[in-house]
Structure 1
Amino acid sequence: MSVPDNSMSNTAPSGNYRAVWRWHFYAGFLVLPFLMLMALTGGLYLFKAEIDDAVYRPMAAVEARGTPASPDRWVAAARVGTGGEVTNVMVPDRPDRAVQMTVRLPDDSRRIAFVDPYSAELKGVTAYVGLTETIKRLHSLEQFGPVMNLVVEIVAGWAIILLATGLFLWWPRKRAVGVTTLKATDPKRRPFWRDLHALTGLYAGGIILFLAVTGMPWSSVWGGQVLKAMNEAGLGRPQAPSAASSWAHAEHDDKPKGAGWALEHSGVTTDHQMAPPRLSLVIDRAEAMQLPRPYTVSIPASADRTFAVARQNERVQDSRTLYVDGTTGTLRGDIRYEQYGWGAKAFEWGIFTHQGTQYGQINRIIMLLGCIAVWVLAISGLIMWWKRRPARRGLSLGAPPAPGGLRARAAVLGIVIPLCLLYPLTGLSLLAALALDRLVARLVRPRPVAS
């Protein structure tokens, strides 16, 4: 959202108004490049199923025929063909699709193997980090290193600041009425881009706010701490089933794949058994329990842990994870949505909706519109800055002038302080931005002319 032209009012902007405008400018300057990347990759990831189908079709397509081979033969084919160990198996929901497996090689790298479920023949092997996985890592900034995931929380917090300050600037005051329709029609003039910027923020701001808030569970600091607090308070993952041993924190490949954000760090231990675990027993149990396909079977690295069989659902209420003893086929746990604490239910709902699957196609379209809106806001904001950029003045970025006094910044403080308390990394970045603002102000302060 953007500030209306001063011509719309007979009074000069107040100190609060100028302070909010200044921080709206800085917030956009700092995070819009990241938001544009995340919006682009997020918009692409909404079409993950279609992209994966197009990329992997030559290896994933099989001829549906007869009775499938034993799942143990699937694992053996992948192991022999790659020289690695299978860590999880995705059982497809279509009879004309290959079984997809994640394989860990001796050098600790990973591959994706496709096996014909009927002949147990290896159809192909591809990189573990494929196209959509790369898109996902770019979206979470993990592609640039694990430390960059910290930026996710900072960017999300500043995105909320952007929306809150934009709404303050748009809000009708005195005779200046917040724009609700595109009145300016000449793209060569700044008022057109100002109105487009304001309208996009006004009508799509709620979607962008939702995306920012529901993206927080993926941040390594805030998301991890919330998950820990929820579990300790009994509001997250369910308690251990009476038929199972104690829940244990999963490590590395023990982490159940596809079990959902609230359960992905949990596993169930089993009694030590002499017989080796068998995937066929686990899948037979999943089929007997009528677990809908597709589902992913996570194979534990240790024989004293259960297999986790997680439904690959698109709605939070369809979440279900089975824990099966791979040596006997005994069901150790059957965790369903109804057993989640309210905290896990809320966060899982936010994640499914964020990914555009909770409410079907309309959900995906709305999230896509939010991603497009981020780009419209960024481009229109850049054009506005370009049209009002100052003459060359050293380090000046053309930010709105800073008002004097703490009172003039009351509106800004009222917006940012609650967010900084909720998102600590955003607060730390705000302190850094304040220090930078003071430094720039000193460097560009006009010097008195010597007499």
Structure 2
Amino acid sequence: MDGAYRAVWRWHFYAGLLVLPFLMLLALTGGIYLFQAEIEDALQRPVAEVTPAATQASPDAWLASARAAQPGVVVNLLRPAREDRAVRFTVREPDGDQRFVFVDPYTARVTGTTPAGGVTETVKQIHSLAIAGPWANLLIEIVAGWAIILVATGAYLWWPRKREVGVLTIRAKAGRPFWRDLHAVTGLYAGGIIVFLAVTGMPWSAVWGEQVMGAVKNTPWGRPPAPVAGAWQTAHHDDAPVGAGWTMEGMILHTPGHAHGDLATVLEAVDRQQLARPYILSIPSDPAATWTATAQVVKVEDSRALYVRPDGAVAADIGYAQFGPAAKAIEWGIYTHQGTQFGQANRILMLLGCIAIWVLSISGAIMWWRRRPKGRFGAPVAPPGRRLRAAVLGIVIPFCILYPLTGLSLLVALLLDQAVRAVRRLRPVAS
């Protein structure tokens, strides 16, 4: 085994040690979230299913029923695509929690209430690590960067080097060759998907994502310019439009001089513009702010948001075609990441990537457990020579420049590695 191979193997081992538990969690929750629509429909069906009728009640009657059933502030409503589904209102309770209130659009009768978000929102919070607090989102960038390093170093280790078996197929022989082949071949076929998931998950990261947001959104490469009637403003709290997407996230328009509108007037204006259903209409608390209706679509090119004044006039109609090139690329990556852009094949491919992460993690752990010396940690021995270390750094440093938090974690790992090796050199030799 040459020194370069040993050096790359060592860092592949440490990269896996650092991030595989997190990757397994992200893969599990991400795989579940791919079926968000089906899960939500199944769980909400008992309160969301209604009997269609020839006429509908007034939207203001829907709103009155929702307010009567659930004390608090109504912040948005979901207008369903199906005729046999209730209108869903989101209500912020006095304690800050939110609940869904389902109202039959034909009778204005409340059919039931549930906690907002439900199971899939919890899965989403775990997937983004937001459930552990704002600081935990920092790990997303670190894990994604190290996942790319894992794939890059794994590709180097996989390279045949005159080996004819265990390259494209898995040897059926039980034991370490089987696990090694399973690990290598799975990584070969799924490595591209894993890198894609890591890169397209970055817009949600706390450092890289925020920096890219500022660099892209506020330039012609990102968010389209606001109409002459006003300028984009960042909404606060519940006034932020729901479902507006990454490019238009949190953006609203102010139209001074207009009184607070009524739901019926705004919904009539949205329907005149033929916005595809389902859509979410965000109801602002600021009487001068526009109401925002966002289409809940599965393909990025169908993205559309209407900014409606309280009197029913449309202040802006923003679609995917108006996004800058960088925003289009990022939005496309997000929809593909979520498994909706290319239909069922897209979802299956992303699911296979999530499964592959578990296969790689389990097979890697088994290989380590079988080869480790008894009573020792069993990390690959570091080869001597600065050139070999430079070769490894040549693989990982470009990713660390692109993802600063990954670079910082790499520096910490290097310092710890040097400290461990120094301690070993200082140990007294047993006589």
TM range (shorter): over 0.9
1:199 is matched with 185
Does residue 176 in structure 1 map to residue 163 in structure 2?
A: yes
Is the contact between residue 311 and residue 320 of structure 1 (CA under 8 Å) also seen in structure 2? yes
1:307 is matched with 291
Q: 1:17 to 1:80 in 2, by over 3 A?
A: same
1:434 is matched with 414
Is the contact between residue 318 and residue 337 of structure 1 (CA under 8 Å) also seen in structure 2? yes
Does residue 233 in structure 1 map to residue 213 in structure 2?
A: no
Which stretches of structure 1, 4 residues or more, deviate above 6 A after TM superposition?
A: none
2:172 is matched with 185
Match of 1:405 among 382, 385, 388: 385
Match of 1:382 among 354, 365, 368: 365
CA distance in 2, matches of 1:411, 1:69: 70
Cα distance, 1:155 vs structure 2: 0.4
Q: 1:450 to 1:336 in 2, by over 3 A?
A: closer
Cα distance, 1:183 vs structure 2: 4.4
2:55 is matched with 67
1:6 is matched with none
1:281 is matched with 265
Q: Supply the RMSD in Å over aligned alpha carbons.
A: 1.4
1:221 is matched with 207
Match of 1:248 among 215, 225, 233: 233
1:368 is matched with 351
Q: 1:450 to 1:330 in 2, by over 3 A?
A: closer
Q: Secondary structure at the match of 1:102?
A: strand
1:8 is matched with none
CA distance in 2, matches of 1:230, 1:339: 14
Does residue 415 in structure 1 map to residue 401 in structure 2?
A: no
CA distance in 2, matches of 1:156, 1:68: 49
Cα distance, 1:231 vs structure 2: 2.0
1:77 is matched with 65
Is the contact between residue 152 and residue 395 of structure 2 (CA under 8 Å) also seen in structure 1? yes
Q: 1:130 to 1:450 in 2, by over 3 A?
A: closer
CA distance in 2, matches of 1:136, 1:329: 34
Cα distance, 1:363 vs structure 2: 0.4
Q: 1:232 to 1:407 in 2, by over 3 A?
A: same
CA distance in 1, matches of 2:195, 2:170: 26
What amino acid is aligned across from residue 388 of structure 1 in structure 2?
R
What amino acid is aligned across from residue 208 of structure 2 in structure 1?
W
What amino acid is aligned across from residue 332 of structure 2 in structure 1?
W
1:425 is matched with 405
Is the contact between residue 165 and residue 171 of structure 2 (CA under 8 Å) also seen in structure 1? no
Cα deviation 1:128-153 (Å, max 9, x = unaligned)? 24100011111111111111111011
Q: Secondary structure at the match of 2:245?
A: coil
2:91 is matched with 103
Q: 1:362 to 1:183 in 2, by over 3 A?
A: closer
1:10 is matched with none
CA distance in 1, matches of 2:430, 2:241: 72
Match of 1:258 among 234, 243, 250: 243
Does residue 447 in structure 1 map to residue 427 in structure 2?
A: yes
Cα distance, 1:234 vs structure 2: 1.8
Percent same amino acid at aligned positions? 59
CA distance in 1, matches of 2:11, 2:97: 45
Cα distance, 1:172 vs structure 2: 2.8
CA distance in 1, matches of 2:301, 2:42: 29
1:9 is matched with none
Is the contact between residue 19 and residue 409 of structure 1 (CA under 8 Å) also seen in structure 2? yes
Normalising by structure 1, what TM-score?
Answer: 0.93
Q: Which runs of 5+ in 2 are unaligned?
A: none
Is the contact between residue 258 and residue 309 of structure 2 (CA under 8 Å) also seen in structure 1? no
Cα distance, 1:127 vs structure 2: 1.3
1:209 is matched with 195
Cα distance, 1:441 vs structure 2: 2.6
Q: Structure 2 matches for 1:265-344, cutoff 5 A?
A: 265-274=250-259, 276-326=260-310, 328-344=311-327
Cα distance, 1:19 vs structure 2: 1.1
Q: Secondary structure at the match of 1:20?
A: helix
What amino acid is aligned across from residue 304 of structure 2 in structure 1?
R
What amino acid is aligned across from residue 48 of structure 1 in structure 2?
Q
Cα deviation 1:165-195 (Å, max 9, x = unaligned)? 000111133x3357333342133x1010000
CA distance in 2, matches of 1:200, 1:390: 26
Q: 1:449 to 1:285 in 2, by over 3 A?
A: same
Is the contact between residue 158 and residue 167 of structure 2 (CA under 8 Å) also seen in structure 1? no
Cα deviation 1:317-372 (Å, max 9, x = unaligned)? 0011000012x100100001110000110000000000000000000010000000
Is the contact between residue 170 and residue 182 of structure 2 (CA under 8 Å) also seen in structure 1? no
Cα distance, 1:444 vs structure 2: 4.2
What amino acid is aligned across from residue 334 of structure 1 in structure 2?
D
Is the contact between residue 294 and residue 305 of structure 2 (CA under 8 Å) also seen in structure 1? yes
Q: Secondary structure at the match of 2:77?
A: strand
Normalising by structure 2, what TM-score?
Answer: 0.97
Does residue 91 in structure 1 map to residue 74 in structure 2?
A: no
